Structures are given as structure tokens and as C-alpha cells.
Structure 1
């Protein structure tokens, strides 16, 4: 193991693997890894004097000695009011215009360390657009060879952005799951690091900074409700990690409810949740939806996502295509141009009865990536 590195662990099988290895999943169950890492309390009074990026929460992040070589200043996005008791965090104001930068920077810093050690030759990622763009950008920053697998039919603007960062694109016929299978096959090649926003838990430890920022911005407290869009669940699971850490360290007294939002056209997790299931009962059909970024038919971390929402006292909501269209146009009239996937939470909050206290929704991806929904 490279000095100072943490270890991967499978929460289901308790199998461990050094993070210096390129084993991208549990060899026993083929499930995603978690990270055997203990955060330390982040001292709130010290934060104003720290670097103005997500790296200010260094006690909460896994050791990343090469972070300074890959950072693009990600994080610290604005929190603005949208309606009475509802605020939006503008995570589309990131270097690659989506929240995926929070996790991609940790993947790239880890990959660069492996490359310097002679372990890694190339980085592979799969995505419906935003995660692939973020990995391509941060791989370019790190000087790493990168290949991104995307479904055919991905937004041309997202493809252009990935190519502009120098990554090689592989367009895969079929749905998002077919794309993931193709990338996983490539990830088994020697010298390949699977920079997966789903299977590699470094990504989740990046997305948890979303909640650390809320905690700081709200003066050491959290909203009563945190609403997040869920496809593979990387933002929701990062949020759950942060809430658990902040509560365990005595930095917050109460835990917010986590409300997960899916497109009604592809909502396997919402179906399982409302059926009382602990895991997916069956994959969803791959139906078209404007919210392409969360159209995941069989998320690998389904069990963890369902447990996190239940443990928080939250729930699942679904939104239809008309609701997504209306929410995108409503936000645009408020000065915020957000892609259709990124408006799903606002669509859900507009349609649902108000919850007590402060609710925060993320606006996750810029409208410039997709244009206005037809």
C-alpha cells in the first residue's frame, strides 16, 4: 500500500482491499466499495481563514497529497433563497458546470497518485454526461490519459465538452446500464483505473462537502430538509455521510430529513421505498425522460440509498415530464438556467406539500449543457 492511503471495504462482505490496487469492486459480490476512513471534526471558527474551495474541510477528507495539482477551485457555491423557507444551492456554478466536480477532483487526485507510483496507465469513466465531463476535465488537469464511455444520444453539448478536455469518447449503443457494462469491461484491463462515481467511494467523500458547505453557510446548523435528485445516489449518499459525521462529532444536534427525487419515468428506488423493500425489487424499464442524468434502472448502491433515506425520516418523490419542463422555465424566469435533471428537485418541491422548517434543493447542472427542454 502506498504510504498514507486508506483502504476499500465492502460493507456487505467485509472484504478489504488497499486503495493502491486497481480492484474497482468487491471480488466476492461485485458490489461497490466503501472507504475505511474516519473523519475528524472540522473546527467551524477556523474556516474563514482557509482556502476558498471544498479543500477547506481537510479534516473530513481522505488524505490527498496531490490535491493542489488537480484542484480547479471547486466548491463554495452560493446558497440563495427561492421561495419562503426554500433555498437553492447553485452547484451548477462549478468549473465544469455540475456538482460532479466535487467527487471528480478526489478521483483525479487519487489517480494521479497511482500514476506517479507506476500503477496506473489510463483512467476510464462512464456517464450520461456530467460525471464524464468532470472526470475528463480533472484528468486533463492531472495530465492523465482518459477514456469516457457515454450512451448514444447523450447531449451533443456534453460530448463537445468532454472532447474539448482531451478525453477519448466511446459512444455505446443502448441505455445507461449498457454503457456502464462496457466501461466495467474496459476497467478490467491491466493498468486501468475505473474513475467511477458509483463504485469508487472517494467520489462520495467529495460530494459530502455539499452538506459541509450548508453547515458552514448556516452558521453551524443544517436545514430541516435536504432534497436531492437520485439516479445512482452519489449526492444523497455523500449528504448522508456528512450528516453522520457532523452529528457524531457533536457539530450538529439534529439530523435533517433526506428527500430523494426521481423521474417518474425511471423510478426503481421510489418504487422499492414505497413498497417497504430494503433493496430493489426489480430493475426499472429504460424509458425516455428529460432527466437523463438520473435515469438509472438498477443503481448498484440501491440498498444503501434506501437505508439512508429511511434512517433520516425522509421519503422519495417523483416528478413527471411536464413538471420538469415547468420547473426549468420557472427557474429561468428567476435568472437561473439549469438543465432538466438539475431542476427535478425544484419540480418536486413545487408539487409537494411544504415541509416544516428550511428546505434546501440543489441546482446541479447548467442549462448551457442541454438547452431548454422541448
Structure 2
């Protein structure tokens, strides 16, 4: 069986052994990275492999799965000249978070905890709940008050216990971390645990395969905690290092204007969020990316900068229009899932190509007010 790679803290270098249930750096309580540098398989060798994200076995830090629900391999369709959409809402739990959740559940199955704990504004929680159900692992998901009732229903339907926290997304994360220090508890954090990022990176490996061994000029990605963007950056680096692509696409990070701490830091030329409180925030339709202080802020800013990309922000009004526009094209996504299209549909790309992810199904939250 493939041995598990160790984790390490990207801030202070602290090593965390592969068999640890710890979900964060024991020194600074920050997120972890994985000591894992795979070499992707050549394009021709992928023919005939399993039709899921596990077809990229060489790039995954875990062996063939026992808890797979067939996640990955979502369609790529054209939206407009030069812009395509990857339909990641067509996954088992209807969001891209399945890509990372299957990795967390598979890891937990290896470590055999007595309890799995996660925190989420909805989609990651439903994904972790589903894959824990598949693995027969007991699971509790901490969610902030105001989480969509449909997402709470989905979490409970999979047999997990939704624990509603009185407060925002950060309050839910704090409550989960406090509970996760108990003995025998595995913290299935889609933010702190690096295995999640090594699941989301398959989004780009699939693009590379579907586009015949190339990538678009621009990857437009919604960013709250940045798990899809950081996964994309991992995949791009792997493909480029292996000589399978000759150039790296620019990463365009999209935030909702009412909650855009990273976009503000970017505009100021900062390498990280300020030590004081982040910029003032307000409610937004894009609840899935409404993260005032993402723990991997420094890594996100660095990844965008190194790619030659930029940050974009979109208002709730633009999100409404983008959701309605996508629905008129036959694509019914939730409001957060529409933010990348909301950003790029008003950008002048010239001859450049771009791909946007449609990350969550519309039935999770319904249409935004004013879209009907």
C-alpha cells in the first residue's frame, strides 16, 4: 500500500507525521501542506482508465479508493467565444467539493478515528457528510447560522449531524476546531488539510486532458478560502514541471464585492492580509465565498501573483444577472457558482481563452431575488 506522505507547515516548517489526526500545525495552528511532488502520466497513457478523478493516480497521495462515488470527469461546454464552463455542479453531491471530500474520507478511513468533524457554509459539509456515509464514518458538521436549509437537509440525509453555530462562517470554524482537539477525532477541514487541495487539483488535470494536452490562457476561479484556486495552482505546477505544458495559465481570482479581503490586499500590493481586522464586510449572495479572513491568504495571493493573474470583484447585482444568464443557457447553478461567469462575461479577453467553473447546483439555494 502506498505510504502516506508527511505534512508540513508552510509558515514555520513544522513537520506533522502521516499517521496524525491533527488537522493543523501544532505550533501556529495554521494550515498544512503535503510533502508530495508527483509526476503526472502522459496524455496517451490515460486512455481506458477509470472514468473518475482517480484516473490521475500518479498525482494523488492516496491509493485506489474504497469510498469513491464516481466523482470528477465533469463536462466542459462552451459559453461564449473563447470562454468555456466546466460543469462541476454535476458531481455526486452537486458541488466541486466532492473532489476534496473523497480524499479526506479516504484518509480518515486509513486513520480510523472514532469521529469525523468538519466545518462548512454548506457545500463542503454536504460533501464530507456523503463520503463519510460511504465510508461508514460518524460525522458532525459545524455550520454557521443562516446556512441554506436545503444544505442542512442534505447533510442530515447522509446521516451526519449538522451542528448550527450562532455566528458567521469563522465562528463555525472556531467551534469545530475546539471540538476537534478531543482524542480520536479527525478534523476533516477542507481549508487546513492539504489532502483536500490534492483532490481539487484534478479539476485542472481534467481540463488538460479534455483540451488535448493544453490549458486555456486564463483560469477564472471563485475564491473564499481558495481551495479550488490553490488546487489549480498545484496541478499547473505539476504539469509544467513534467514538461506536459509549455506555459502556465493566468489565475483570475474572483471575490464578491461585499466580502473581498484578498482583493483589497491585492490592490494594496500586500503579501498577506493585515494583522488587524480585515476590511468591513456585508451580506452577499455568494455565501460560499464570504470568508473575511481565509487561513491560506498568503498562499492565494502568491499563487495569483506568480501566475501573472489578478483579482476581480463582482457585485450582488452582477451575480444575479449572471445566474439568470446561465439559467437561460440551460445551466442552473447556485449564486456562488455564478460568480466566475459574472466576472468574465464583462471582461475583454481579446484572443485569449478562459474556463470558468460552475461549482454548485442551483437547487442548493434557489434563484437569487430578482432573477425570476
* Map of 1:73 onto structure 2: 70
* Map of 2:186 onto structure 1: 193
Q: Distance in 2 between matches of 1:73 and 1:170?
A: 28
* Map of 1:139 onto structure 2: 132
Matched, 1:218 2:218: no
* Map of 2:43 onto structure 1: 44
Q: Distance in 2 between matches of 1:351 and 1:184?
A: 40
Conservation of the 8 A alpha-carbon contact between 2:326 and 2:333: yes
Unaligned residue ranges in structure 1 (runs of 5+): none
Matched, 1:5 2:4: yes
1:203 equivalent among 196, 203, 208: 196
Matched, 1:163 2:162: no
1:289 equivalent among 269, 273, 284: 284
Deviation string, structure 1 residues 145-189 (Cα, Å, up to 9, x no partner): 000000111001111000000000100011100010000101111
* Map of 1:315 onto structure 2: 310
Conservation of the 8 A alpha-carbon contact between 2:62 and 2:103: no
Off by >3 Å, runs of 4+ in structure 1: none
Q: TM-score, normalised by structure 2?
A: 0.97
1:343 equivalent among 325, 338, 362: 338
Matched, 1:301 2:300: no
1:269 equivalent among 262, 265, 268: 262
Q: TM-score, normalised by structure 1?
A: 0.97
* Map of 2:251 onto structure 1: 258
Please report how far the alpha carbon of residue 355 of structure 1 lies from its aligned counterpart in structure 2 after TM superposition.
Answer: 5.0
* Map of 2:33 onto structure 1: 34
- Of 86-95 and 55-64, the range deviating more from structure 2: 55-64
Matched, 1:247 2:246: no
* Map of 1:330 onto structure 2: 325
Conservation of the 8 A alpha-carbon contact between 1:104 and 1:134: yes
Matched, 1:108 2:101: no
Query: CA separation of 1:166/1:274 partners in 2, compared to 1, >3 Å: closer, same or farther?
Result: same
Deviation string, structure 1 residues 189-232 (Cα, Å, up to 9, x no partner): 11100000000000000000000000000000011000000000
Aligned length: 367
Please report how far the alpha carbon of residue 286 of structure 1 lies from its aligned counterpart in structure 2 after TM superposition.
Answer: 4.1
Deviation string, structure 1 residues 59-102 (Cα, Å, up to 9, x no partner): 0110235x1x2000000000000000000000000000000000
Please report how far the alpha carbon of residue 285 of structure 1 lies from its aligned counterpart in structure 2 after TM superposition.
Answer: 3.2
Conservation of the 8 A alpha-carbon contact between 1:64 and 1:109: no
Q: Distance in 1 between matches of 2:350 and 2:185?
A: 46
Matched, 1:93 2:90: yes
Q: Distance in 2 between matches of 1:126 and 1:181?
A: 9
